[in-house]
Amino acid sequence: MAPGLAAESITIAFPPLGNFVLTVKDIETFAKEGSPSPALERFVRLVPQENQEQLREALQESMQLSPKTVEEAVNSPLGIALFNRIGQVLRTADNQNGSVALKQAFVTAAKNPAGISILNVIRAFPSPTIQVEGQLGFRTLQGFVRVTENQNRVVAALAKTANASRSLPIPSNLPNPAQNGSFTWDKKSITFVNPNRGNQPIPAELYLPKGLTQPTPLIVISHGLASDRFTFTYLAEHFASQGFPVAAITHPGSDSQRFKFFLSGTEIDYRIIPSDLVNRPLDIKYFLDTLSKTATPDWQINVNQVGVLGHSMGGYTALAVAGAGIDRTSIQKECNRIRDDLNSFNISALLQCRILGVPSVSEQLRDERVKAVVAINPIGSVIFGQAGISQIKIPTLIVAGSEDIFAPPLDEQFIPFTWLTTPDKYLAVINLGTHFSVLQPGETGVFPVPNDLIGPDPTKAKPMVKGITSAFFQTYITPNPEFQGFLGQKFAGGLATNPFSLYMIRELTQAQINAAIAGGPARP
């Protein structure tokens, strides 16, 4: 492909019907003015009228990233895998896989002052035409629609189950776990060392309630990819106000600082990502080891009675310290299956397959000091599989968002929940929740995230998250079984604020999921 070429048309091949040619100018005119040309109109009609304005906005919506950052991202192991998939459908004029051309187009678009948008990527495609494998693309689109509908049907079934369930009475003699407690706290910054990461000090923030009269269970918070120990400050302060010592720790290999370097154009060593999947649970182990030696009596921390809460990759971390096992044979088999599968829409699976870059997992990731875990938008279906998840024996709360495209709830939360064998298991489904709904309002990590992906106002999700997670830890690490009454649908459902809904589930089987997919309504 000669440098300087730019796409002028898009040819959609639909054998035996023939080729349909759209000019890039036609697409630009539609995006800016809303008037499709006769050639484009036949395709625009496939989009529901109420979504056509969203389509126009999506074509023009842009983000600003440095060309160096984009070049690093598209040529990373995850980028290569993703673009190879897309390139099966979007091909060059000579009908070659379009991955190389697409990567070049993204880098070129990043140099455009207007930023990276779908239109700018199309304009920058280094081939006179973009050849679209129509049948393959159509089958892929059908697959995506099918997956989305299946997920919606399962959410609808879970809503029905939750609303029909019998809840324990809401305790009238206990404080509302969604409301801040009466404790004030001191905040301390400390460091610890994970020998697997070298001797670098790793920072953590401690929230120590004042006035505790005896050692009290500790809650450890594990952040997600490209986040940091401050991402869940609102939860740390909430738990501390209720009398829990809290530790928010840093995972250096996948924290915001590393990705800030990445966004500034600093090259990332992708070889560390597989080992970080192992080091994250070990960060918690070595932090607890350090705390057990350095905590002073006035801190009143019971380091042997710990709850862990994690989000996304932190959710994976929580499940790992809870005892989920890693089976390399199963991982290899699943990763081989999805490598070039255009009908696999689970983005997180590509990240999970990176653990195969670790020769072996020689250390035990389960930490017996951890007595209960909360995994919010977790990933782990590939890394753990059914055999690994079934090894968890402690109380577990999994929180899912129905609109999460980064850790799809059907693959990453609903089905893994059916694999849990612990009797003390809970599934909380935030209807209309996304991957970002539970984060500190305004906090999405270091990457720019379009508002459509953030979803409804995250401040409205905070009472739900605070209420169910606090009730769970009060029940299982304090432990005070009377708080279990707050873990039913009657209380949890009442925490939801429009447009969100919250469904609490105690039991779910694969057969029920299959039945919902086969015949359930598409929306709760």
Q: What does the pLDDT read at residue 419? A: 98
d(CA 380, CA 365) in angstroms, rounded, equals 14
Residue 17, token pair as written in the block: 């019907």
d(CA 408, CA 520) in angstroms, rounded, equals 19
Domains of the chain: residue spans and CATH: 9-139 (no CATH), 166-505 (3.40.50.1820)
Q: Is-contact 411 341, C-beta < 8 A?
A: no
CA torsion, points 229, 189, 474, 226, in degrees to nearest 10? 10
DSSP-assigned beta bridge partners for residue 302: 217
Burial 494-518 (b: 16+ CB within 10 A, else e): ebbeeebbbbbbbebeeebbeebbe
Residue 170, token pair as written in the block: 């809401």
Of 398, 377, 401, the closest CA to residue 389 belongs to 398
d(CA 279, CA 302) in angstroms, rounded, equals 24
For residue 6, the one-letter residue type is: A
- pTM for the full model? 0.89
Q: What does the pLDDT read at residue 309? A: 99
Residue with tokens 């920072």: 203
Residue 488, token pair as written in the block: 């039913």
What single DSSP character describes residue 423?
A: S
Q: What does the pLDDT read at residue 2? A: 46
The angle subtended at Cα 207 by Cα 204 and Cα 209, nearest 5°, is 160
d(CA 89, CA 86) in angstroms, rounded, equals 6
Determine the 3-state secondary structure of 296 from DSSP.
coil
- Helix (H) / strand (E) element for 341: namely none
Q: What does the pLDDT read at residue 260? A: 43
Backbone angles phi and psi of 376, in degrees to 5: -100, 125
Q: What does the pLDDT read at residue 520? A: 56
Sequence-ordered list of residues with C-beta below 8 angstroms from that of 33, at least 6 positions apart, any chain: none
d(CA 350, CA 358) in angstroms, rounded, equals 15
Q: Is-contact 385 412, C-beta < 8 A?
A: no
> In Å, what is the CA distance from 136 to each residue of 15, 87, 210, 349?
11, 11, 62, 22
Positions of the chain with pLDDT lower than 70, given as ranges = 1-5, 255-273, 361-363, 441-449, 520-524
Q: What does the pLDDT read at residue 87? A: 94
Residue 302, token pair as written in the block: 């019971």
